[in-house]
């Protein structure tokens, strides 16, 4: 006897919505949300496992909705009209469902103009007619109409989430009628989700009763005129048309043409290779392990059908994050042009001005934009439509003859109008760099887009990588385009063998440089398309994008440091360090490297036998500040000396020595580089050198600040937001007492002390201050106990008191976490998102770490948004008052540093104060004022 065929039809589209709402918002290693995809994958896995079961599938297909439009919209335009857009973090998962299905090498049915339900009905009946059993994997009530038996062939349903079979009895129980009458019940009761009208006032109970009693919808409607007078009678009479329309809408179209024959849906083993690739890509490691171990592997994995194995994914899009863009050919480096003549350059420029969008990339001699020399420029106007314009290639000893290239000054003169044209959009990856390089040649770039910042505004926090924050071009190309770029070191080499870009032969230089522009152009098209859908447009357009030229200008300005002063400090420090070193060695009874925590630990804890404290990851005794301070308190003089030694070594190597090195030869000033994508919260970060961590907390450290000075006739002005994060916390958590304190200009920590302890003195104020900050950072009783030097129990009491006095804070923390857990990201008042992929981690430490960061991110991030808005407006506001000589030099998170003529201070101060104080408006109106403190002086230290 031939085996009974059994076709499983998986209602894929409906499934992912349910999976989305039931499962935690997981993300894959790339940060794409995949919670629903994971649910879908496990479901397919389970089904495939049932292959050998008596009631399991012999044939299987996935049916998906192709488009949102169907013939039902033509009958009734309102159909599904009130359906909300799918959640933001579900949208990117739709294409992944297809990838998952391909990974299992399963046939997929997607037809336009009909719904998945119609295709399921058509296939179910076709299979039933052939004598097969059919199982519909869904719990959609519309599909329950199909359940039943004909000539010994059954159609049933399987709800995999509840692991429940739905057959005639279950349908009867749910609707009170037989499956074939379900459509009639649905037509009467309507469906708010699909916006099927039904009859107003008739719900499931009444509908099933009416159909049950009358035997059909038509009979029920016909019976209405003879009913005794009642509300129900009126409704039936009035609603007749709506009910008939609804009946048409819920009717499944069961005669659709079948694109794949049911016989071709045979399930005879899942080829393991494509599935393994997919599981690995998305970090579904437990399934991957099971697959690799061969235990519980889905279906029979023996039959590697080469034809099916080839059906995996679209080429070039291993990620599935995006739909492949079919109009884009693969990156082809041989398609690029080297522009070596004026005529060719003019032609590229003319085309760029015509298209109004051009990706630009500069090649230079150094990573430091202010110090770098321009070596060449690349442009891209479309995929593979890119060129490299060498400008200063050759000329070293290695090249006796320079390659043919357009004269430098001529090329700049030709490029300038294109790059300055306000009606042309320039696209760059970290375009601040190119702005600064080109500024040296008198080019002031007009409007720009930056793919690095677009990526940041879309995906901050999603990538776990460190350097570049996951927004570097190579990573983006890999992630979004599935393309591996040429690496700089492949072109120029590394280490001692590295050659300057200007000495790279033109062929290779063109491949590398033009590819960067090409890839940037493609990334821009991709990211720009995502931004409005994913809610990144606002923060990008209103905050980050306007900041690009402003920060570029600050970097070009630089700040003057007094080299002689730093040098004097270095010498003084060196003397003291030398003296301390001798004394420490004497105390220790041996010479050792004090700067080595390992050796220091051995001396202190092994040789001298002092009591150790905490240990680090490596199991090594910590010798950090807190430990040394404890030892010092226990009367060990060597600890004091090491502390001082540490402090001075730090100051000397990181500041007094390094800052001298950082002075630019040409400008005589120090130019930091700000990263707009460095901090997950939206803060800037500062590197090479970091000017956001110049000492201020100790007297000896402040001497370094004294070396930051203005040009003669000028002063430095420092303006900082006072307690901005606490003010924002008061606003965002809506704490009346704190808001009032800020309105009255009270000392906020004293006010907190008063609320908590009833009295204000030095101790209670200090404790209140600690608690205030603890709140901003996400508190734990142990953390607070450590800081306050009390027991965890006591710390918990403090926290309870705090929450009691300020219940808004507690509910803010609660609702923030709820929201981050559900959505996967936090949001600032200005709509900046920070993603927390580990917020639902099973690892407690990891999860709690994410929770603390998630509590802090909206506050720190909003503060960052506000100062960024102030910066973006500042120069304009100053210019409007005729203050053209005021230069904005530095940003230190809540502080801006300016250099300006002494005579301008009086006029500039109120402008600066106003711009900073009003920076949130008009987008956001805060319940608390933003306090600004301004100081001026002959050094940065004096300006405080």
Residues 764-793 that bind DNA (CB under 7 A): 770-771, 773-775, 777-780, 782-784, 786-787
Closer to DNA by CB, 384 or 680: give it. 680
Which helix (H) or strand (E) is 827 found in, with range?
strand 825-827
**Least Cβ distance, residue 821 to DNA (angstroms):** 16
Q: Which of residues 689-728 bind DNA (CB under 7 A)?
A: 689-690, 692-698, 701
Within 10 angstroms of residue 224's Cβ, the number of other Cβ atoms is: 18
**Least Cβ distance, residue 645 to DNA (angstroms):** 9
Binding span for DNA by CB under 7 A among 295-303, 537-545, 574-582, 639-647: 639-647
Distance CA 944, CA 705 (A): 10
**Least Cβ distance, residue 702 to DNA (angstroms):** 8
Closer to DNA by CB, 183 or 689: give it. 689
Distance CA 32, CA 25 (A): 10
Distance CA 337, CA 355 (A): 18
Residue 594 structure tokens: 């004090």
- Residue 645: name the closest of 568, 572, 580, 579 by CA: 580
**Least Cβ distance, residue 648 to DNA (angstroms):** 9
Distance CA 183, CA 208 (A): 11
Binding span for DNA by CB under 7 A among 19-27, 548-556, 622-630, 908-916: 622-630
What is the DSSP annotation of 362-411? Answer: EEES-S-TTTPPEEEEEEEEETTEEEEEESS---STT-SSPPP---HHHH
**Least Cβ distance, residue 931 to DNA (angstroms):** 13
Closer to DNA by CB, 125 or 721: give it. 721
Binding span for DNA by CB under 7 A among 86-94, 433-441, 445-453, 646-654: 646-654
* Binder among 5, 455, 510, 623 for DNA (CB under 7 A): 623
**Least Cβ distance, residue 360 to DNA (angstroms):** 25
936: helix, strand or coil: strand
Q: Which of residues 661-690 bind DNA (CB under 7 A)?
A: 675, 678-681, 683, 685-690
Distance CA 335, CA 348 (A): 15
Distance CA 62, CA 40 (A): 11
Q: 159 pairs with which residues across the strands?
A: 164
Closer to DNA by CB, 47 or 492: give it. 492
Q: Which of residues 844-863 bind DNA (CB under 7 A)?
A: 844-845, 848-849, 852-853, 856-857, 860
Q: Which of residues 826-845 bind DNA (CB under 7 A)?
A: 844-845
**Least Cβ distance, residue 828 to DNA (angstroms):** 13
Q: Which of residues 568-597 bind DNA (CB under 7 A)?
A: 593, 595-597
Binding span for DNA by CB under 7 A among 115-123, 365-373, 640-648, 910-918: 640-648
Distance CA 149, CA 144 (A): 13
Closer to DNA by CB, 566 or 771: give it. 771
**Least Cβ distance, residue 600 to DNA (angstroms):** 8
Distance CA 903, CA 827 (A): 42
# chain residues binding DNA, by CB under 7 A: 72
**Least Cβ distance, residue 462 to DNA (angstroms):** 12
Phi then psi dihedrals of residue 809, to 5 deg: -65, -45
**Least Cβ distance, residue 200 to DNA (angstroms):** 51
**Least Cβ distance, residue 789 to DNA (angstroms):** 11
Report strand pairing: 133-137 vs 153-159: parallel
895: helix, strand or coil: strand
Closer to DNA by CB, 69 or 598: give it. 598
Closer to DNA by CB, 405 or 681: give it. 681
- Given a contact cutoff of 8 angstroms between Cβ atoms, the answer to whether 834 and 825 are in contact is yes
Binding span for DNA by CB under 7 A among 81-89, 337-345, 367-375, 649-657: 649-657
285 binds DNA (CB under 7 A): no
* Binder among 216, 254, 576, 622 for DNA (CB under 7 A): 622
**Least Cβ distance, residue 318 to DNA (angstroms):** 24
- Torsion, CA 317, CA 319, CA 320, CA 321, rounded to 10: -120
* Binder among 174, 351, 650, 805 for DNA (CB under 7 A): 650
Closer to DNA by CB, 321 or 826: give it. 826
Q: Which of residues 893-932 bind DNA (CB under 7 A)?
A: 893-895
Please state whether 152 falls in left (phi above 0), alpha (psi between -120 and 50) or beta. Answer: left
| DSSP assigned state of 678 | S
Closer to DNA by CB, 253 or 852: give it. 852
Closer to DNA by CB, 845 or 880: give it. 845
Q: Which of residues 871-900 bind DNA (CB under 7 A)?
A: 892-895
Closer to DNA by CB, 186 or 638: give it. 638
Phi then psi dihedrals of residue 626, to 5 deg: -65, -35
**Least Cβ distance, residue 795 to DNA (angstroms):** 10
- Given a contact cutoff of 8 angstroms between Cβ atoms, the answer to whether 922 and 873 are in contact is no
Closer to DNA by CB, 658 or 877: give it. 658
**Contacts of 521 by beta carbon, 8 Å cutoff, 6+ apart:** 359, 380, 381, 382, 383, 386, 427
274: helix, strand or coil: helix
Residues in the chain: 944
Closer to DNA by CB, 302 or 693: give it. 693
- Given a contact cutoff of 8 angstroms between Cβ atoms, the answer to whether 717 and 897 are in contact is yes
Within 10 angstroms of residue 512's Cβ, the number of other Cβ atoms is: 24
For residue 681, how far is the Cα from the chain centroid? Answer: 10
149: helix, strand or coil: strand
Within 10 angstroms of residue 444's Cβ, the number of other Cβ atoms is: 12
Closer to DNA by CB, 267 or 718: give it. 718
Straight-line distance from the first to the last Cα atom of the chain, in angstroms, rounded to the nearest whole number: 93
**Least Cβ distance, residue 417 to DNA (angstroms):** 36
Q: Which of residues 390-419 bind DNA (CB under 7 A)?
A: none
Closer to DNA by CB, 240 or 702: give it. 702
Closer to DNA by CB, 24 or 786: give it. 786
**Least Cβ distance, residue 685 to DNA (angstroms):** 3
**Least Cβ distance, residue 36 to DNA (angstroms):** 26
Q: Which of residues 592-621 bind DNA (CB under 7 A)?
A: 593, 595-599, 601, 616-618, 620
- Given a contact cutoff of 8 angstroms between Cβ atoms, the answer to whether 387 and 542 are in contact is no
**Contacts of 649 by beta carbon, 8 Å cutoff, 6+ apart:** 573, 577, 595
């Amino acid at each position: 006897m031939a085996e009974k065929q059994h076709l499983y039809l998986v209602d894929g589209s409906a499934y992912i919505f349910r999976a989305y709402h039931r499962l935690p918002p997981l993300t894959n290693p790339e940060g794409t949300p995949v919670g629903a995809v994971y649910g879908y994958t496990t479901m397919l896995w389970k089904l495939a496992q049932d292959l050998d079961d008596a009631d399991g599938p012999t044939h299987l297909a996935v049916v998906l909705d192709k488009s949102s439009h169907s013939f039902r919209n033509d009958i009734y335009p309102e159909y599904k009209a009130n359906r909300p857009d799918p959640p933001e973090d579900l949208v990117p998962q739709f294409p992944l469902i297809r990838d998952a299905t391909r990974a299992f090498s399963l046939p997929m049915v997607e037809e336009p103009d009909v719904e998945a339900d119609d295709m399921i009905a058509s296939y179910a009946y076709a299979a039933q007619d052939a004598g097969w059993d059919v199982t519909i994997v869904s719990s959609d009530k519309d599909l329950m109409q199909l359940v039943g038996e004909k000539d010994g062939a059954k159609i049933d349903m399987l709800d995999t989430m509840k692991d429940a079979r739905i057959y005639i009895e279950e349908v009867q129980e749910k609707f009170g009628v037989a499956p074939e009458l379900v459509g009639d019940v649905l037509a009467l009761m309507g469906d708010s989700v699909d916006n099927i009208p039904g009859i107003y006032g008739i719900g499931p109970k009444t509908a099933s009763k009416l159909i049950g009693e009358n035997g059909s919808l038509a009979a029920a409607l016909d019976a209405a005129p003879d009913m005794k007078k009642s509300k129900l009678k009126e409704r039936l009479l009035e609603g007749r048309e709506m009910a008939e329309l609804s009946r048409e809408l819920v009717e499944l179209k069961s005669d659709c043409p079948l694109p794949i024959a049911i016989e071709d849906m045979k399930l005879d083993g899942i080829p393991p290779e494509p599935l393994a690739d997919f599981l690995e890509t998305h970090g579904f490691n437990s399934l991957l392990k099971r697959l690799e171990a061969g235990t519980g592997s889905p279906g029979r994995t023996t039959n590697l059908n080469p034809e099916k194995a080839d059906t995996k994914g679209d080429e070039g899009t291993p990620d599935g994050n995006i739909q492949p863009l079919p109009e884009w050919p693969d990156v082809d480096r041989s398609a690029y042009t080297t522009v070596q003549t004026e005529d060719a350059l003019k032609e590229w420029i003319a085309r760029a001005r015509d298209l109004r969008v051009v990706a630009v990339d500069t090649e230079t001699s150094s990573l430091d934009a202010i110090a770098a020399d321009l070596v060449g420029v690349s442009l891209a106007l479309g995929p593979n439509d890119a060129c490299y314009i060498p400008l200063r290639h050759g000329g070293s000893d290695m090249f006796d003859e320079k390659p043919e290239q357009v004269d430098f000054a001529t090329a700049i003169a030709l490029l300038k109008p294109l790059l300055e044209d306000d009606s042309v959009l320039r696209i760059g990856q970290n375009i601040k760099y190119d702005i600064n390089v080109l500024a040296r040649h008198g080019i002031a770039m007009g409007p720009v887009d930056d793919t690095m910042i677009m990526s940041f505004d879309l995906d901050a926090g999603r990538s776990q990588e460190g350097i570049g924050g996951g927004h570097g071009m190579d990573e983006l190309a890999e992630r979004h385009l599935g393309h591996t770029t040429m690496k700089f070191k492949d072109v120029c080499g590394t280490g001692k063998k590295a050659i300057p870009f200007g000495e790279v032969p033109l062929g290779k230089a063109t491949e590398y440089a033009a590819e960067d522009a090409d890839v940037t152009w493609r990334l821009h098209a991709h990211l720009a398309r995502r931004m409005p859908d994913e809610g990144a447009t606002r923060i990008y357009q209103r905050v980050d994008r306007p900041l690009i030229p402003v920060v570029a200008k600050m970097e070009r300005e630089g700040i003057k440091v007094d080299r002689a002063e730093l040098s004097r400090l270095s010498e003084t420090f060196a003397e003291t360090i030398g003296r301390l070193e001798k004394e420490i060695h004497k105390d220790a009874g041996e010479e050792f490297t004090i700067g080595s925590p390992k050796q220091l630990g051995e001396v202190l804890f092994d040789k001298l036998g002092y009591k150790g404290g905490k240990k680090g990851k490596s199991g090594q005794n910590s010798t950090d500040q807190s430990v040394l301070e404890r030892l010092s308190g226990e009367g060990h003089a060597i600890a004091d000396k090491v502390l001082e030694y540490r402090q001075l070594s730090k100051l000397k190597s990181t500041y007094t020595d390094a800052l001298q090195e950082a002075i630019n030869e040409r400008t005589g000033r120090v130019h930091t580089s700000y990263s707009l994508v460095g901090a997950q919260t939206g803060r800037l970060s500062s590197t090479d050198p970091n000017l956001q961590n110049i000492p201020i907390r100790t007297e000896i450290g402040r001497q370094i600040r004294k070396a930051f000075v203005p040009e003669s006739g000028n002063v430095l002005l420092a303006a900082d937001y006072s307690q901005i994060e606490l003010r924002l916390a008061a606003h965002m958590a809506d704490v009346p007492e704190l808001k009032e304190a800020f309105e009255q200009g009270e000392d906020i920590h004293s006010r907190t002390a008063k609320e908590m302890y009833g009295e204000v003195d030095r101790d209670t104020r200090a404790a209140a201050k600690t608690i205030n900050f603890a709140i901003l950072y996400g508190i734990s009783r142990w953390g607070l106990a450590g800081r306050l030097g009390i027991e965890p129990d006591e710390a918990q009491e403090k926290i309870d008191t705090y929450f009691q006095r300020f219940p808004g804070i507690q509910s803010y923390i609660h609702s923030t976490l709820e929201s981050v857990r559900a959505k996967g990201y936090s949001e600032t008042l200005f709509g900046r998102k920070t993603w927390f992929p580990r917020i639902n981690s099973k690892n407690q430490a990891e999860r709690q770490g994410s929770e603390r960061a998630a509590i802090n991110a909206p506050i720190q991030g909003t503060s960052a948004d506000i100062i960024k808005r102030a910066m973006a407006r500042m120069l304009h506001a100053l210019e409007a008052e005729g203050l053209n000589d005021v230069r904005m030099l530095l940003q230190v998170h809540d502080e801006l540093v300016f250099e300006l003529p002494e005579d301008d201070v009086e006029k500039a101060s109120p402008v600066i104060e106003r711009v900073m104080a009003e920076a949130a408006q008009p987008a956001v109106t805060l319940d608390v004022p933003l306090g600004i403190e301004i100081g001026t002086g002959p050094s940065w230290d004096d300006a405080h």
